[in-house]
Amino acid sequence: KLIILKYLKSEKIMLKKYSEIIRYLMVGILTTSVSLGVYYGCVLTIFDPNNALQLQLANIFSWIAAVTFAYFMSHYFVFQSHEKNLIHEAAAFYSARLLTLFIDMALMFILVTLCNTNDKIAKLIVQVIITIANYIFSKLFVFK
């Protein structure tokens, strides 16, 4: 019984220690779903991913939807921010995300336009890289 209590206590400590990362991963999965959903919707209905400009337009629309969703989820749920000046915080959030947008666009250009990788697979791979970079930038520069 004592071993079980010690185990449960250590699990509770671990959960508390890593709860922010767990919440970020949950929101990251939802944000990735928003991003992929908007991107796939764009390239399956409006834009041609074989056209470099249209590929990037679909990517930008996907980014706008995902970042807007991610800001509100990060503010209220992940980092549980108490910042009163939401405009300042949102501006910092979007600024940090602009850097990863450029990384996203460059990787999509390289993978799809230059290497002829399937755009849907490339977008999924790029999302993993971007999710990690976004956590680092959010933690260091936005929700300190």
**What are the pLDDT digits (tens) for 64-113?**
999 999 999 988 888 888 888 899 989 988 988 899 999 999 999 999 99
Q: Please say if the pLDDT value at position 46 is more than 90.
A: yes
- Tokens for 11? 């699990």
Burial pattern 1-23, b for ≥16 Cβ within 10 A else e, equals eeeeeeeeeeeeeeeeeeeeeeb
Residue of 51 and 137 predicted with greater confidence:
51
Is the pLDDT at 6 greater than 80? The verdict is no
Q: Are 34 and 91 in contact (CB under 8 A)?
A: no
pLDDT for res 134: 85
Nearest to 65 by CA among 89, 46, 87, 42: 42
More confident residue, 21 or 10: 21
Q: Is the pTM of this model over 0.75?
A: yes
How many Å separate Cα 70 from the centre of its chain? Answer: 7
In sequence order, the 6+-apart residues with CB closer than 8 A to the CB of 75 are 81, 83, 86, 89, 93, 143
